[in-house]
Amino acid sequence: MKMSLYIGREASKLWKRASAEAVTEGILLADNWKYLLAGIFCQYLHGLAAHGVHYLHRPGPTLQDTGFFLLPELGLERAYVSETLFTFIFVSFILWTFHPFIFKNKKIYTVLLWCRVLAYLVVCQALRVVTFYSTQLPGPNYHCREGSPSARLPPPKDAIEIITINFPDGLVHGCGDLIFSSHMIFTLVSVITYYRYGTIRFIKQLGWVLAVIQSLLIIASRKHYSVDVVVAWYTVNLVVFFVEKKLPEMPDRMAMTMLPLSTKDKDSWSKEESHKLSMSALVDPSSDRNQRLRSPANGKTTMEDGNALLIADSQ
């Protein structure tokens, strides 16, 4: 009986927390949906470009590669290993971005975080498309080698075949889009984003370890040459570094609410007034009051007047 009451009470709290978070994220979504939609559309354009280069692919002898020499080949029957790890990393990252709907302690806003993630991805993918269209290399993957029926694509029959990217075979059995690895773009963006905005030190360190393992597995599976992975490592990190400099600091929810230092003034503030201040900072990020309210998620705190104190978000 006690267990049932406890579960019911906790379920009620979880529902209220998720509902309140949905309202907050809904306000942010109303202001930022264009950026999210543009980022998602660019994912389609990236897939379209990757499918297009397959028509230009010409199979040939596998190039000499240091990684192929050092790492034993996993073989076609174990090629799923790298895909399994990639899926685990990226799905785990997606689930973490929605944790504000579940947990009380939260540092990020889901909508704002995905705006940044899509910005990282779009810039990286634009550079990737320019690179693999500049020079087409013979694919090292099994379905891209000489003799494989999917190594060469016949000219498209109509525009529909191009627009639909020959789904799903066009995504799974693509060739020619090598430099640099798309898998490593998504992996590194996930790891770097959690490193910047996550809170658990062990997971941050584990993320980098898994990224290294993922790199080795991609090469061992012969899905990419070593250069594709190496270029991805420094390109993605540099892209995130420079994009972050162009974007405004993301507000830190753990230091978002501002109250006066004076006990008398503090007591006079209602919970509703505090909530309005927080929400005004989200709706109008360029306002003067928001400049005093915002504390960036990277831990750097700026205060204009010295008569305010940033405390943890009460949600």
Residue 275 is a catalytic residue: no
Per the structure block, which two tokens stand in for 307? 């008569």
Q: Are 313 and 258 in contact (CB under 8 A)?
A: no
Residue 54 is a catalytic residue: no
Each as own residue / partner, the long-range contacts of residues 236-241 (CB below 8 Å, 24 or more positions apart, any chain) are 236/120, 236/124, 236/184, 236/185, 236/188, 236/189, 236/192, 237/188, 237/192, 239/120, 239/123, 239/124, 239/127, 240/120, 240/189, 240/192, 240/193
Annotated active-site residue in 228, 265, 267, 275: 228
CB atoms within 10 A of CB 287: 13
Annotated active-site residue in 177, 183, 252, 313: 183
Residue 51 is a catalytic residue: no
CA 84 to chain centre: 18
- CA dihedral (74, 225, 218, 59) in degrees, to 10, reads -70
Instruction: List 297's β-bridge partners, or say none.
Output: none
Annotated active-site residue in 54, 224, 252, 313: 224
Q: Which residues are catalytic?
A: 183, 224, 228
